[in-house]
Structure 1
Amino acid sequence: MAKSKLSLHQGRLLQWALLVMLLPTPTLCGSMAAWWTDIGPSFAMQNASTGLITYSLCHSNNTPLYPVDPPLTFDTTYAPKNGTSLAATGWFDKTTTWASLFYQNNNDDIVNAIYTCDFKTGRYMHQDSLVISDRAGTPAPHAQTGLSVTLLGEQEGYRVFFQDRSRALQSLKFTQVESWSYGGPVSTNTHRSGMAISSMFSGVRNVTVVTPRDEANMEVTRLNIDGAWHISTFPTPLSGRNITNLSNATSFPYDNSTTPSFTLDAWSGNPKALGIAIDTLLTRHVFYMGTDGYPREVASFVVANGGSEGPAESAWRAQPKQATEFWPRAADGGDADFAIASDIGESVIRLYYFVDEVNEGGRRLVEARYRNGNWDPAAPLQTANVTAAATAGDGTGNGEAGQSVEGGSGGLSTGAQAGIGVGVAVGVLLLGAALGWWVLRWRKGKAGKKVDEEGAAGGSSGGDAPGSEGSAADGTRVDSGMSQALWETDVKDTVISSEPRELDSPDPKTELPESGDRNELPTNKNVPELP
């Protein structure tokens, strides 16, 4: 009997030990990644003790829910090396959320893993994994390379950025025609003080990649309309006006003829992370964590120069440091790790990092929000008890796990999911919102015509509004998430002059969503290409 009790006790101790191993370590912080989809930001982090990559609930709406009891971990075919850099992107395809994760394995290969979201549980389901750094001509990645990914759209695909063993900045590319291939050098400069990389896409052939240069400067590499990567530095500029990825220079000397207009405050040259965000005015914001543990920002603005060449871009300059209410000190001190997610269509930025919560007795992961031109006070990232939530509801274990809406729980309704599918997935700039509304009106007009015809034949029944494919008891239109009142006042009598082409559904796993054809939108809106 005593032996049986001892075995039971040992079993429980083992369960608790395993649970503690899976929880985020209180003293170490693994690599972080954040990205934005049409339902809001997502967050992932490697547990520094176990090497497992944890993530926020994949159906979190607007605010990530990051479970800790227990955490959710990505299934991986290739185990991530401990301390790997992380990069991720994703999209919503009218039905579910997809995530595309990039990391290094224990052989220092770069791996891409694809996942889809199970909206009933909030868990990502593994679809495919493959090594992408073994493509012909690709230089071997540096063992501690940074990683960054940019999603350009259905036709242009991905660009993944990394450093090779000489610390030159390299790229891998994915298109639906060619799949993964070597994308060529981005910057042949090998004089780099740090390995952090951040990148952002803002239009056709408008990709910006930022890296550390040295203890006083950053390097900015930008894909231009001529197809070349143009290289610059700040605050100290380079000597020469047309330095590109094709330049022979390997040292990229500075122009020391003038004194820079500002310095990078609390900059060591070797941060654990960098972040870049671009807003609807095409302002480029670069973030880093200072040596004092507080976030810093520099920015470059688009301005009208009054000349025949149209708008130009201002020089980079430091932005005001925020009060600790908005940017609290990082728990890991100087050069601490962080992740950033942004939505170019709404000029929204989210910043994630760990802070010391004195009243809570430990570290807390916080989210700092930038919206409407201002920062909101940083707030702890909400957590969710996945075990409890998954067994709630119908008693079968199929309950929804902690779905979130702003300011509470409850998640996305079936109607909201359907409404997001076309309207928001297409909308990456102002054109997106207009196109989504146009398609929605056409579908309602087409469905209304069908119902009217059935009604004339005696086949119509029920009290649904014209064009409805079913209404919920609270008046919400199930097919679009639109309320009955909005249908009656704004939509049902709208006349569509011509039928637009039906949008196709996205193709399987590695193919990118057709409705996210973001690379074409800036051209349609006549956004000028910047030099």
Structure 2
Amino acid sequence: MARSAHEGWHLRHWAAFLSLPAPSLCGSMAAWWTDLGPSFVLQNASTGLLTYSLCHSNNTPIYPQDPPIALRTTYAPKNGTSLAATGWYDRIGSTWASVFYQNNNDDIVNAVYKCDNRTGLYEPQDSNVISDRSGTPNPHTNTGLSVTLLGEQEGYRVFYHDRAKALQSLQFKATDGWSYGDPVSGNTNRSSMEIHSMFSGVRNVTVVTPRDAKNMETARLNVDSTYFIETFPTPLRGGLNNTSASNRTSFPYDSSATPSFELEAWDGDPKAIGIAIDTDLTRHIFYIGTDRAVHWIAAFVSARVEGGFRAQAGQNTEVWPLADEPNSDFTIASHIESSSIRLYYVSGGRIIETKYRDGNWDSATPVETSNTTVIIEEGAGTGNTGLTTGAKAGIGVGVSVGALLIGAAAAAFWILRGKKATSPDEETTTAVDTAAAAGPPMSQAGSQDATSFRADVARTGSGLNGDKWDAEVKDTPITPPPRELESPKTASELPEANDRNELPTKHHVPELP
């Protein structure tokens, strides 16, 4: 019996995986948080394929290995590409993922996927090269990548290195589509190409990168749309315009300053760096050092004033097992509202998860390979009884109108055909199954613009409190979620009154000094 093209694709790629221990071949990684909890994607260092955790797992990622599953891509990712990803959970109960990588031409590609809640597999919706927009500096051949999801109006910011190693940005706005954003840091003296970024409300974005064998660099978005450049432990020389507007390629240190601490086991060349921001607006930075241990730095806020970054106490190996390699790759997912942080990296040949919540670290556990916490019904919501107003941001994702119309037409055709061919008792089941199986096909690859379809994304899992959002927005009150899902819970239907809210406005959360 002939197999479908879809089945054939999976069989070919599963065969490539069967003899490969995927975690030990782990390349770059990326993670994000939605209302279902964290998810991650990683590149298999041998095949170059982008494998991922099941998209319908609840609270804890499930990463199949027998066999692994891989994203279907229009543009093949280059082996060794940096990865960035974000995602959201929409108001009709669908999980979406937006993944960024470099292809073999060194272009930056954005691929958008929608979850099939029955199987846990992502189905491709759209894929575009986004670094070909007018005025965009060419990406470095080994650029780092990071993405931050700001909300419905402000959309995405994607951070990357240009050919000179200066830090640049691309942006997607619902009204304009993809375009070149702004320069972030003109510094070209960098020891490594890793990037990570985090958004904490009101366009307050921090981007962190390695600087050299003793220091890191942060670029923080100001209310005037420029980025303020800082380094630590050694500060930059004062009296200079250390911002993205300075048009300089070098930012000298303050040679008279004595660093208050040292970056332990740091040589300036990690395979990854990560940042998370909690409810109190504390900025947490992580890296895995030359000693294979996780290291943690934080800048705490007191009376609305942020102190400088300081090294934090390490954890024992039950909490932070040693990574399998020095300077090991890892990925981080965080949830602002619950101050939850998850770290994922390879230890003992397996991907492990370590959790920070309520101010404490839990012992690390291996990421499960079989799914015991899935959404049972298509269109189901989260296990939470509701969401804070601030969790309901939206974003246009650039899915082709044509693709959705074709998908809808196909679904309708098969539903009608199924009704004619089945008995009354079988009609409902057959219609649901065939409609889901006939999901929207890939659109033609091409430029993404302001006319692209805007998916109704109700919830990003950003965790921003309601008082950080536009006070003019009216919404039906709903019960806030617990700080953390302590055990798997059956998903519930989304309230029908969950309309999207506007992006937060700057008069609610002032910029930190």
Answer whether TM exceeds 0.5 for this pair: yes
Secondary structure at the residue paired with 1:89?
Answer: strand
Q: Secondary structure at the match of 1:258?
A: coil
Shift of 1:343: 0.3
**Within 5 A, what are the aligned runs for 1:270-419?**
270-304=269-303, 311-332=304-325, 334-356=326-348, 363-384=349-370, 402=371, 404-405=372-373, 411=375, 417=381
Distance in 2 between residues matched to 1:197 and 1:91, nearest whole Å: 22
CA contact (8 A) 1:224 1:530 kept: no
Q: CA deviation at 1:345?
A: 1.0
- 2:380 and 2:491 in contact (8 A); partners too: no
* Structure 1 residue runs without a partner (length 5+): 1-13, 305-310, 357-362, 385-401, 443-475, 482-500, 505-513
SS in 2 for 1:216: coil
Cα distance in 1, alignment partners of residues 19 and 99 from structure 2: 20
Residues 71 and 414 of structure 1, relative CA distance in 2, 3 Å threshold: closer
Point out where structure 2 has 5 or more consecutive residues left out of the alignment. 1-10, 393-460, 480-489
Check the 8 A contact 1:268/1:291 in 2, yes or no: yes
Task: Show the 5 A alignment for 1:6-405.
Answer: 18-20=15-17, 23-25=20-22, 27-94=24-91, 95-241=93-239, 242-304=241-303, 311-332=304-325, 334-356=326-348, 363-384=349-370, 402=371, 404-405=372-373
- Aligned residues of 2:475 and 2:498 also touching (Cα < 8 A): no
Q: How many Å separate the matches in 2 of 1:284 and 1:418?
A: 28
Deviation of 1:224 (Å): 0.9
| Distance across 2 between alignment mates of 1:202 and 1:177 | 23
What residue identity is the alignment partner of 1:274?
Answer: I
Cα distance change on mapping 1:154 and 1:26 into 2, 3 Å: closer
> Cα distance, 1:54 vs. partner?
0.3
Q: Confirm whether residue 431 of structure 1 aligns to residue 466 of structure 2.
A: yes
Name the CA distance, whole Å, in 2 between partners of 1:190 and 1:477.
48
Is residue 529 of structure 1 aligned with residue 511 of structure 2?
yes
- Aligned-residue sequence identity (percent) comes to 60
Please state whether the residue corresponding to 1:167 is helix, strand or coil: coil
CA distance in 1, matches of 2:263, 2:129: 37
Paired AA for residue 247 in structure 1: S
Which string of whole-angstrom CA distances, capped at 9 and with x for unpartnered residues, describes residues 225-277 of structure 1?
A: 12111001000000025410111332210002121110100001010000000
How far did residue 18 of structure 1 move?
2.3
Whole-angstrom distance in 1 between the partners of 2:383 and 2:367 = 27
Q: How far apart, in 2, do the equivalents of 1:48 and 1:412 lie?
A: 33
Distance 1:106 1:16 in 2: 19
Secondary structure of residue in 2 paired with 1:18: helix
Q: Which has the higher contact order (CA 8 A, sep 6+)?
A: 2
CA separation of 1:108 and 1:477: change in aligned 2, threshold 3 A:
closer
- 1:359 is matched with none
**Secondary structure in structure 2 of the residue aligned to 1:246:** coil
Q: TM-score, normalised by structure 1?
A: 0.74
Distance in 1 (alpha carbons) for counterparts of 2:464 and 2:193: 31
What is the alpha-carbon distance in structure 1 between the residues aligned to residue 112 and residue 491 of structure 2?
Answer: 32
Q: Does the CA contact (< 8 Å) of 1:93 and 1:421 recur in 2? A: no
Q: 1:22: Cα distance to partner?
A: 7.2
Cα offset for 1:528? 2.6
Question: Aligned partners of 2:257 and 2:194: how far apart in 1?
Answer: 28
Task: Go from structure 1 to structure 2 and tell me whether the alpha carbon gap of 1:16 and 1:194 turns closer, same or farther (over 3 Å shift).
Answer: closer
Residue type of the alignment partner of 1:351: L
Alpha-carbon distance change, 301 to 135 in structure 1, aligned in 2, over 3 angstroms: same
Q: Which shifted more, 239-248 or 410-419?
A: 410-419
Kept in 2: contact 1:168–1:187 (CA 8 A)? yes
Question: Given that residues 16 and 47 in structure 2 are in contact (C-alpha distance below 8 angstroms), is that contact kept between their aligned partners in structure 1?
Answer: no
* CA separation of 1:245 and 1:439: change in aligned 2, threshold 3 A: same
One-letter identity of the residue aligned with 2:319: F
CA distance in 2, matches of 1:22, 1:170: 40
Query: 2: CA distance between counterparts of 1:349 and 1:527?
Result: 22
Separation in structure 2 between the aligned mates of residue 421 and residue 440 of structure 1, nearest angstrom: 12
| Separation in structure 2 between the aligned mates of residue 438 and residue 142 of structure 1, nearest angstrom | 44
* 2: CA distance, partners of 1:115 / 1:477: 21
1:70 deviation in Å? Answer: 1.0
CA contact (8 A) 1:415 1:477 kept: no
C-alpha distance in 1 between matches for 2:376 and 2:315? 33
CA root-mean-square deviation: 2.8
1:296-322 alpha-carbon deviations (Å, 9 max, x no partner): 011111112xxxxxx211011000011
- Please identify which structure carries the higher helix content: 1
CA contact (8 A) 1:90 1:99 kept: yes
Work out the CA distance in 2 between the residues paired with 1:433 and 1:312. 18
CA displacement at 1:529 relative to structure 2: 1.2
Per-residue deviation at 1:431? Answer: 1.8
TM-aligned CA distance change 1:441 to 1:275, over 3 Å: closer
Q: Equivalent residue of 2:280, what SS?
A: coil
Contact map agreement 2:117 2:375 (CA 8 A) in 1:
no
Count of residues paired in the alignment: 418
Is the contact made by 2:352 and 2:364 (CA closer than 8 Å) also made in structure 1? Answer: yes
Judge conservation of contact 1:276–1:285 (CA < 8 Å) in 2. yes
Q: Match of 2:466, as an amino acid?
A: L
* Deviation for aligned residue 1:24: 4.2
How far has the Cα of 1:430 moved from its partner?
3.1
Map residues 480-491 of structure 1 onto 2, 5 A cutoff.
none
SS of match in other structure, 1:67: coil
Deviation at 1:423, TM superposition (A): 3.0
Question: Secondary structure of the equivalent of 2:128?
Answer: strand
TM-score, normalization by structure 2: 0.76
User: Residues 415 and 164 (structure 1 numbering): CA distance in 2 closer, same or farther, change over 3 Å?
Assistant: closer
Contact 1:24 1:47 in 2 (8 A): no
